[in-house]
Amino acid sequence: MTDWHVHTTNCDGKSRAEETVLAAIERGVKILGFSGHGYTAHDGSYCMSLESTEKYVAEIRELREKYKDKIEIRLGVEQDFFGEAMPWAEYRIGSVHYMNFKGEYVDVDGGNDQLLNAANKYFGGDMMSVCEAYFEIVGNVYEKTHCNIIGHFDLITKYNERERIIDTENPRYIAAWQAAADKLIPAGVPFEINLGAIFRGMRTTPYPSAEQIKYISSHGGKFILTSDSHSADTVARDFQKWEEWAKSLGAEILKKI
Ligand SMILES: [Zn+2]
Ligand SMILES: [Zn+2]
């Protein structure tokens, strides 16, 4: 088992890196990739500061040495589309957490109110325009970050199960995500099947949606299973169950990047 998307107290996670390593060893994880939120200048609330980045890098390297006989540890970063490149990162998850309209950042991960406000403020209430803008950025995430993994492809639907504000059957919505997928698949890097929103009680299925997994698979895209863990107890949790689910949709699941 491998898990490449894990956060710690160095950014917005609840568990220290070492607790996470111990939990991963107990769960039988062979490769554990730490992916601290890389520094983004416009929003310091969730990511590592430039100072804590240094601490993170040193800590993960130290843990790698300490536990090298038990687990393989990788030092990665979850790099936001608008974030800064981190040259020390051994791998990058490319994620879109924001949209930018006329210089103003809108937090995709910040709840439906943010999306509704953006629709009203910039598009006369048209949520489909917000989704089109989101997936246009997502479609460029590889070009911008040269990521090794494409992060939570349809993050914009994070809160949609609880309060439906996006009609995911709308042809405009489908065309928007298909265009992004078509642009990303040729890059040849896996899309993650991200369980983070399930563990946080926001969704009952992973990102991307089943329809998206089917489409991406049938167009040659591959996947990697990740926990997007923010606490040690969710590292690589339920991976077997979700791997079977994804395979039933036609997904090819990679173990390494
Ligand atoms: Zn993320
Ligand atoms: Zn994450």
- State pLDDT tens for residues 199-221: 999 999 999 999 999 999 999 99
Q: What are phi and psi of 225, to 5 degrees?
A: -85, 130
Question: Residue 94: what pLDDT?
Answer: 98
pLDDT range class, residue 187, cuts 50, 70, 90: very high
- Kindly give the distance from the C-alpha atom of residue 169 to the centroid of ligand 1, in angstroms, as a whole number: 24
From CA 64, how far away is CA 60, in angstroms rounded? 6
CB burial string 159-179: b at 16+ within 10 A, e below:
bbeeeebbebeeeebeebbbe
Say how many Å lie between the CA of residue 26 and the centre of ligand 2.
Answer: 22
Residue 103 in contact with residue 72, Cβ under 8 Å?
Answer: no
Q: How far is the CA of 37 from the centre of ligand 2 (A)?
A: 7
**Residue 182's pLDDT is what?**
98
CA-based torsion, 168, 78, 85, 71: positive or negative: negative
Ligand nearest to the CA of 152: 1
69: CA distance to ligand 2 center in Å? Answer: 27
Output the CA 175–ligand 2 centroid distance in Å: 26
With bands split at pLDDT 50, 70 and 90, how would you rate the model's confidence at 8? very high
Nearest to 222 by CA among 187, 172, 171: 187
CA of 79 from ligand 2 middle (Å) equals 9
Q: How far apart are CA 161 and CA 151, in angstroms?
A: 19
- Give Cβ neighbours of residue 145 (< 8 Å, ≥ 6 apart): 79, 81, 85, 92, 94
Average pLDDT over residues 179-187: 98
C-alpha span between 114 and 204 (Å, rounded): 22
Reply yes or no: is the peptide bond before residue 208 cis, omega within 30 of 0.
Answer: yes
The mean pLDDT of 144-154, rounded to a whole number, is: 98
**For the CA of 12, the nearest ligand:** 2
pLDDT at residue 150, rounded to an integer: 98
* CA–CA distance, 93 with 146 (Å, rounded to integer): 9
Distance 12 CA to ligand 1 centre (A): 11
* 116, HSE (Cβ side, Cα atoms, 13 Å): 8
Structure tokens at 21: 């390593």
CATH for 2-254? 3.20.20.140
C-alpha 252 – ligand 1 centre gap (Å): 22
CA of 249 to the centre of ligand 1 (A): 24
Residues facing 6 on adjacent strands: 229
- Rounded to the nearest angstrom, the distance between the alpha carbon of 12 and the centre of ligand 2 is 9
Cα of 95 from ligand 1 centre, angstroms: 6
Distance from the Cα of residue 101 to its chain's centroid: 22
Distance 192 CA to ligand 2 centre (A): 11
> Tell me, what DSSP letter sits at residue 40?
-
- Lookup: tokens for 90: 């051994």
Instruction: Record the pTM.
Output: 0.97
Where do we find the tokens 């998206």? 212
**pLDDT, position 164:** 95
**C-alpha 171 – ligand 1 centre gap (Å):** 26
What's the average model confidence in pLDDT over 56-71? 98
pLDDT of residue 136: 98
Instruction: State whether residue 176 is helix, strand or coil.
Output: helix
Contact between residue 160 and residue 166 where contact means Cβ atoms under 8 Å apart: yes
